Amino acid sequence: MPERPDNPRASEPTPPPQGLPVGVEEDLPVRHAKPKPNIRVPALNITSFLDMSFALLTMLILLANFSVGEGVLTANIPVGIGGVGKTDAVQLPKLPITIILDPVAGKPDDVLIRVDGAPFTSVTGFTDLGDQLARNRRDPRLNPNGIIPDDTPIVIRPESAIRWQHVVNAFNAAVRARYKSVSFAQTAEDLSGLTNGK
């Protein structure tokens, strides 16, 4: 596209001043119209910056890990053969409360909850388990009539086929009821597995 002159009239010949015959030119100063400066709108080229920002945004969205918030439940674990940090069995009270998790026949994702050593046996779910454990926990200030001291060991004993979700759920119920010593029972499979070097 041809460039348009800033002032089209500037290139035209200047007409002779009036009052003089044609062909006679007076030596007068001629005012030429000055060309208009080409005023550009100030602009900031941020194209590359925007490209970069979008690339960064896309990368962060793709790499973002929409993970759920994680928390921890501190647990005592069973100690096997040759374990260095063995627990002294003498220090444990003789009558712990054992939470037994049994699988349901034909329903691998379900669980049956039994409680051994507690004044209650029927438990409908993990929320109920936590509520009953809390209701029976002795607290000198809040629940002096509770019959289970809070230092009574709670032992979780899941069967092998139980899902880890239920195990953590049972553990959480005991911790939620604010018992001080919650641990896992050691199973025969643990011992045999380690002995066989599995």
Partner 1 sequence: MARRRKVDLPRPELNITAMMDLVLNLITFFVLVANFASETLPNIQMPAPDHSVAHATEAQRRLAVTVESDPADPSKALRIQVGLDKFKPTDLKDITALLRAQVQKAPGLQVDLRGDKRLRYDQVSLVMQAIANAGITTINLVAESPAQ
Q: Is 40 in the site for partner 1 (CB under 8 A)?
A: yes
Residue from 22, 24, 30, 44 binding partner 1 (CB under 8 A)? 44
91 near partner 1, rule: CB under 8 A: no
Nearest to 100 by CA among 147, 167, 151, 148: 167
Could you say whether residue 127 binds partner 1 (CB under 8 A)?
A: yes
Q: Cα separation of 114 and 99, whole Å? A: 6
Query: CB of residue 195 vs partner 1: minimum separation in angstroms?
Result: 11
User: How far, CA to CA in Å, does 71 sit from each of 54, 67, 74, 99, 130?
Assistant: 34, 12, 10, 23, 18
Q: Which of 114, 94, 95 is nearest to 104 (CA)?
A: 114
Q: How far is the CB of 118 from partner 1 (least distance, A)?
A: 19
Instruction: Return the residue of 28, 61, 63, 105 that touches partner 1, per CB under 8 A.
Output: 63
Among positions 66-85, residues that touch partner 1 (CB under 8 A) are 67-85
Residue 112, strand partner residues: 102
- Pick the closest to residue 181 from 132, 147, 148, 144 (CA basis): 148
Q: Which residues sit at the interface with partner 1, rule CB under 8 A?
A: 34, 36-40, 42-46, 48-49, 52, 56, 59, 63, 65, 67-85, 87, 101, 108, 125-127, 130, 158-165, 167-169, 171-173, 175-176, 184, 186-187, 189-190, 193-194, 197-198
